[in-house]
Structure 1
Amino acid sequence: MAINKYLLKLAAPVLMTGVLMSGIQANTVNAEQAKVERKTKRVPTLRSKVYDQLSRAQGLADAGNQAEAFEVLDNVKSKISSMNSYEQAMMYNFYGFIHYEAENYDQAIAAFENVVLQQPIPESFEQATLFSLAQLHMMRGNYDQTIAKIEQWEAIQTRLYPNKEIPAKNLVLKAQAMYQKQDYAAASQYINAAVQQVETNDLGFQVDEQWYVLQRAIYFELKQPEKVKDVLLKLVKKFEAPKYWIQLAGMYGELEQEQKQLAVMEIAEQKSYVATGSDMFNLAQLYYYHQLPFKAAAVMQKAIDGGKLAENERNLTFLAQSLNSAKETEKAIPVMMAAAKLSETGELYAQLGQMYLNMDQWNQAIAMSQQALEKGGLRNEGMSHLVIGMAQFNMGEYNQALSQLAKAQEFDGSRGMAKQWSKFVEGERKQVETYASIGNQV
C-alpha cells in the first residue's frame, strides 16, 4: 500500500497534445488489474532500499533540486546489475518524470522507452508509460510513434480485458495524430467513435470541449460544412462561448442560410458576444444585405465610436452608404465627405454629387462632381458629367447642361441616359426660347 500511495505522485502535469489537453497517467495498480496480472505473469517486487532512494530523488526534484535528484538516480543506476526488472523500470520512470519536469522532452522519451523495455513489470504500469510516451511523441510531432504507442497500449488492454471497448481518450489521441498527418478520413473515424462513446454512455460524463473542437476542425478539412455546423450547435449549447456563436453564424453563411446566419448573429449581439471590430462589421454587412440599413448604420456607428473600428475609408464609406440607404442622407453626407478626403480616387466625391443632386442642392452637386473629375480614378467618368448636366438644367443653364451631357455620351456607362436627357433639355431650351420670342413680340 505504501508503494501505491507514493506512486500517485508520479502523475506528471498536463501535456498539450495538439488540440487536446491530456494528463500522463499515474502508475498505480488497482485490485482488479493486480488480480489479472497475477494470472498472466509473475512480477518482482520493489524493495524498500530501492524505493527509499527513488523517494529521495523525488523529494529533491519536488524541491527544485533537479541536479541533485539526477545524482541520486545515477547512484541507483550504478547498482543496476543487482536490481530486478521492476526496480529498473521504476528507476527509468523517475528519470523520465524529472526530465519531463525539466522540459527535456527527448530525454524523457528515451527514459520512458527504457521503462517498457524492462520485463516483467506490472502491465498497468507499462500501459501508463505507453500512454505517456504517446503524449510526449504527440507533443514532439512524432505522429507515427504516437499511434504506435497507443496501439501497444491497446494490445495489452485487449489481452487483459477482451470484452472492454477501447477508451475514448485513446481514440482522441489517435485522431489528433491522424489530423496532424493530414489523414482527415482516419481522424474523423477515431474522433467520431470517441464522441459517440461518451455521448451514449450512462455515466453522466460530458464530451470534453476540445474533442468537439477537434471534430469540427476535421469536418472543416473534409469540406463537410453541414457537419461542422452540427458540431458548432453542440458547442453553443453545451459551452456557451462567444466564439462558437460567431463561428456558427459563419457556417450558416457558408451554407447560404442567410436568415439563420442573421438570427444567430442577432442573438450573439443581444448576449454582448459581438464585441470585436471585425464581428461588428460582419453584423452590419448582414443587416445591410437583409435590407436593414438603419441597423447596419447603428452597428457601424457604435463600432467606430467605441474605437472597435478605425475611421478609415472603408468603414466611413460603408457607414455613409448605410445612412443614405436608410434615408438619413443629411447624416450620410458629412461621413461620406470624410471618407472622400481619405480616398485616393474621386469615386466618393462622385457619389456625393449624386446625393446632393437627389437633395435638389444643385450647386453642391456640381461642386462635388467637378471635384470627382479633378481627383480622377472614376469607374464611370460620364456619370459625373451627367450629374453636372442635370444640375445645370435644373438651374436653367441649358447650353452648359447640353455641353456636359454631350461629354457624358462619350462614355458607355452613361451614354444612353445622357442621350435621353439631351433630347429633353434640348426640347426644354427650344420651348423656353419660343416663349421668349412670343414675349418679345407682345
Structure 2
Amino acid sequence: MKTKQTKMGLSLIAALAVVSAAAPGVPGGFSLLDIRSAQAQSDEKPKRSSKKVDSLRANVYEKIAKAQEKLEKGEKADAVKDLNSLLEDKINDYETAIVYQILASSVYIEEERYKEAITEYEKILKLERVPDSLQIASLNALAQLYLIDEQYENSITYMKRWMATQENPGPTPYYFMAQGYYGLEDYANIVPNILKAIELGRARGDEPKENWYLMLRLAYFELGNFEKVRDVLEYLTVNFEKPEYWRQLAAVYSELGQEDKQFATMEVAYRQGYLDKESQLINLAQLYLYHNVPIKSAWVIEKGMKDGIIEKNGENYELLGQAYLNAQEMRKAEEPLRLAAKDEDNGDIWMRLGQVYAEQERWKEAIEPLQKAVDSDDLDKPGYAHMMIGMAYFNTGKLEDAKKTFRQAAKFEETKKAAAKWIDYTGKEQERRAQLTEYYGGGGQ
C-alpha cells in the first residue's frame, strides 16, 4: 500500500532567528571604564611624534588630585565644581585636557551621560599642546561612545582615525568596525572587517572569538549567501559544540538542497541530545519518513511522547500511525490512527485505519472506520471508500450489502469501472451460491 510522505524541513528563518545575537556593543579589548589607558590597548606602539606639549604644573596637579579624591569618596558634586573652577583659571592645554578627560570618564560615562562625555573628548582633540597619547586615547573613547550612542558613522570614522595612529592595531578594532557597520545594516562591509580580524588573530596565534563568527554568520545570512553561512556554521559546530549550531546547520543544508547532509546532521544532533523541542523532534520524524526510514520515525515520536516533549494530539498520532503504516507495522499503526481519527474526525484518517484492517484481512473491523470516512463528507475521492466497504461486505459474506455499496461506488468517476466489475462479479457469486444451496438442499449428489 502506498501512503503519502511529506518532506518537512526546518524553517531557515526560525532556525536562524538568533543569528543577530552579536548586536552592537562595546567589544572586548576596549574599555570605557579605563578610557584613560586606551593607548595601552594596542599590541603595537603608536606612531612617534615630535610635537611640543605643555607640562602638568605641580599646583594644578594638586588641585586635580584633590578633585579625584573627592570623586573616589563619592563627593561628586564638589569634585565637579572644583574641576570646573580649574577650567576657569589660566591652565594650559595639557592640564585642560586632563580635566576634560576626568569629567568624561569619571563623571559622565559612569552616569551614562554619553553625549556629554563625547563633548568632553571632542574638546581634547581641539587642543594643540597635548600629548599624542591623550588625544589617541580620546579617539578610541569617541569611537566607543558614538557606537553606544548609535551614531555609527561617527563611531567608524573615529575608529579609523585611531587605527591610523597604530603601527599594528591588532584584530579587535576590525571587529569593532564590523559592529558599527552592523548598526548601519551595511552587511557587505561587515564581512571584510570580520575576515581581517580572524586573519590577524590567527597570525598572532590566537583562535578567533566565537562572537566574531556569529557576526560573520549574520552578515552572510543577511546577504543571502547561504553557502558561506554553511561554512561558518560548520566551523561553529566543530569548535564550539552548541546545540543551536547543529540545528541551524541542518536548516542551511535544507535551504541549499543538501538533503543527505541535513538528514545526517539532524541524526547526530538527536543522538547528542540537542533536539529537545517538539518541533525539532517532529522535523526529524518527518525526515526519517522522507528518507524511507519509517520505523525510526515512529521511534522518535513514541519516545518524544513518552518524555513529554511531543504532545499527544491528533496530528502527532496521525504522523505516528503513518510511520508505522509505512514500516508495514499494521498492528502498531492501528491505535495511533484510531486516536488521530477520533481526535480530528478526519475522513482521510478513518480511511487509512480501514485500510490497515483491510491489509490484514480483518474485514469486519474495517467496515466501521470506512463508513465513518464516507460519512465525514471530506474525502477527495469517496468512491474508493465505498469500494473498500463493498469488498469488506463481500469478504464477510454479505453479498447483497456488497452489491448495494458497489452501486454507490459506481456513481463516482474514479471507481465507476471497477465498481461495475465488482457488481457483475458479486451477482455471479450470488447465483453460484444459490445454485449450490438449491443443489444441496434438493438432495443432489
TM range (shorter): 0.7 to 0.9
In the alignment, residue 50 of structure 2 is paired with which amino acid?
K
The answer to whether the Cα contact below 8 Å between 1:53 and 1:76 also exists between their aligned partners in 2 is: no
**Aligned match of 1:10:** none
Tell me the distance in 1 between the aligned counterparts of 2:406 and 2:319.
30
Tell me the distance in 2 between the aligned counterparts of 1:425 and 1:168.
83
**Aligned match of 1:426:** 424
Describe the superposition over 1:297-332 as per-residue Cα deviations: whole angstroms up to 9, x where unpaired.
111122222222222232222122112222333222
The 10-residue stretch of structure 1 (232-241 or 130-139) with the greater mean CA deviation from structure 2: 130-139
Within 5 Å, give how 1:255-274 maps onto structure 2: 255-274=256-275
- Mapped pair 1:196 → 2:204: no
**Aligned match of 1:18:** 24
Tell me the distance in 1 between the aligned counterparts of 2:417 and 2:408.
10
The answer to whether the Cα contact below 8 Å between 2:399 and 2:430 also exists between their aligned partners in 1 is: no
Cα drift, residue 218 of structure 1: 0.9
Tell me the distance in 2 between the aligned counterparts of 1:85 and 1:405.
105
- Mapped pair 1:88 → 2:96: yes
Q: 1:440 to 1:20 in 2, by over 3 A?
A: farther
Cα drift, residue 435 of structure 1: 4.5
Tell me the distance in 2 between the aligned counterparts of 1:300 and 1:331.
13
Q: 1:35 to 1:421 in 2, by over 3 A?
A: closer
- Mapped pair 1:45 → 2:56: yes
Output the aligned Cα RMSD: 2.9
The answer to whether the Cα contact below 8 Å between 1:19 and 1:214 also exists between their aligned partners in 2 is: no
Cα drift, residue 108 of structure 1: 3.7
**Aligned match of 1:168:** 171
Cα drift, residue 17 of structure 1: 5.2
The answer to whether the Cα contact below 8 Å between 1:54 and 1:91 also exists between their aligned partners in 2 is: no
**Aligned match of 2:383:** 382
- Mapped pair 1:253 → 2:254: yes
In the alignment, residue 133 of structure 1 is paired with which amino acid?
L
Cα drift, residue 223 of structure 1: 1.5
- Mapped pair 1:360 → 2:361: yes
Cα drift, residue 214 of structure 1: 0.7
Tell me the distance in 2 between the aligned counterparts of 1:245 and 1:340.
35
Tell me the distance in 2 between the aligned counterparts of 1:270 and 1:263.
11
- Taking structure 2 as the reference length, the TM-score comes to 0.82
In the alignment, residue 80 of structure 2 is paired with which amino acid?
L
Describe the superposition over 1:384-421 as per-residue Cα deviations: whole angstroms up to 9, x where unpaired.
32322222222233333343334334445xx14x5224
**Aligned match of 1:5:** none
Tell me the distance in 1 between the aligned counterparts of 2:128 and 2:345.
76
Identical residues among aligned pairs (%): 30
Tell me the distance in 1 between the aligned counterparts of 2:78 and 2:364.
91
Within 5 Å, give how 1:274-285 maps onto structure 2: 274-285=275-286
SS in 1 for 2:311: coil
**Aligned match of 1:181:** 184
In the alignment, residue 323 of structure 1 is paired with which amino acid?
Y
The 10-residue stretch of structure 1 (427-436 or 142-151) with the greater mean CA deviation from structure 2: 427-436
**Aligned match of 2:16:** none
**Aligned match of 1:4:** none
Tell me the distance in 2 between the aligned counterparts of 1:403 and 1:32.
92
Tell me the distance in 1 between the aligned counterparts of 2:26 and 2:314.
42
In the alignment, residue 125 of structure 2 is paired with which amino acid?
V
Tell me the distance in 2 between the aligned counterparts of 1:264 and 1:174.
34
The 10-residue stretch of structure 1 (418-427 or 284-293) with the greater mean CA deviation from structure 2: 418-427
Tell me the distance in 2 between the aligned counterparts of 1:33 and 1:221.
34
**Aligned match of 1:132:** 141
The answer to whether the Cα contact below 8 Å between 1:347 and 1:378 also exists between their aligned partners in 2 is: yes
Tell me the distance in 1 between the aligned counterparts of 2:46 and 2:277.
58
> Relative CO higher for 1 or 2, CA cutoff 8 Å, sep ≥ 6?
2
Within 5 Å, give how 1:80-119 maps onto structure 2: 80-82=87-89, 83-97=91-105, 98-119=107-128
Tell me the distance in 2 between the aligned counterparts of 1:254 and 1:129.
46
Cα drift, residue 37 of structure 1: 4.7
- Mapped pair 1:77 → 2:84: yes
The answer to whether the Cα contact below 8 Å between 1:340 and 1:349 also exists between their aligned partners in 2 is: yes
- Mapped pair 1:56 → 2:69: yes
Cα drift, residue 277 of structure 1: 2.5
The answer to whether the Cα contact below 8 Å between 2:289 and 2:323 also exists between their aligned partners in 1 is: yes
Structure 1 residue ranges without an equivalent (≥5):
1-15
Tell me the distance in 1 between the aligned counterparts of 2:126 and 2:87.
14
Tell me the distance in 2 between the aligned counterparts of 1:394 and 1:84.
110
Tell me the distance in 1 between the aligned counterparts of 2:46 and 2:418.
99
Q: 1:238 to 1:440 in 2, by over 3 A?
A: same
Tell me the distance in 1 between the aligned counterparts of 2:220 and 2:261.
20
**Aligned match of 2:228:** 227
**Aligned match of 2:8:** none
The 10-residue stretch of structure 1 (38-47 or 133-142) with the greater mean CA deviation from structure 2: 38-47
Tell me the distance in 2 between the aligned counterparts of 1:341 and 1:19.
54
SS in 1 for 2:165: helix
Tell me the distance in 2 between the aligned counterparts of 1:405 and 1:120.
105
**Aligned match of 2:132:** 123
